[in-house]
Amino acid sequence: MSAVAVCALDDIESGTAKKVVVNGIEVALVRIDDDVYALYDKCSHANVSLSDGEVWCDTKELECPRHSSNFSLETGVPATLPATQPVPVYTAFVKDGQVMVDVEAVK
């Protein structure tokens, strides 16, 4: 399997997250300026959608809306408690204005 187009880059405002489904996997897609990040959309501490959380552009983190654990957009590792387990991070990039995600290419 290879990367699939999930939306146009312009469909995501910088500093926000959006839930997309790729091959049956819920993915939190985050845009910071012209960079995109993709991680599994469920908090490892609670069954909560991370795409509903706040994006911290300066530290490249996504905050869980339930208990405020911050997950690295680059590694999936939580920077704050109560989460202690990372979430999968997927390859994401922009090609011809389309956001591409490969859920089989876990970082």
Q: How far is CA 91 from the centre of its chain?
A: 10
Structure tokens at 42: 């469920």
Q: 66 falls in which pLDDT band (50, 70, 90)?
A: very high
CA distances from 89 to 11, 37, 45 (A): 21, 8, 16
For residue 66, the enclosing domain spans: 4-106
CA distance 92 to 2: 11
What is the DSSP secondary structure assignment for residue 42, as one 8-state letter? Answer: B
**Number of domains comprising the chain:** 1
**Contacting residues for 24 by C-beta, under 8 A, at least 6 apart:** none
- The predicted-structure confidence for 83-106, as pLDDT tens digits, reads as follows 999 999 999 999 999 999 999 877
* Cα separation, 64 vs 41, whole angstroms: 10
User: 88: closest CA among 34, 42, 23?
Assistant: 42
Q: Residue 1 — pLDDT band, cuts 50, 70, 90?
A: low
Band (76; pLDDT cuts 50, 70, 90): very high
CATH code, domain with 86: 2.102.10.10
Given the DSSP bridges, would you call strands 98-106 and 89-95 parallel, antiparallel or unpaired? antiparallel
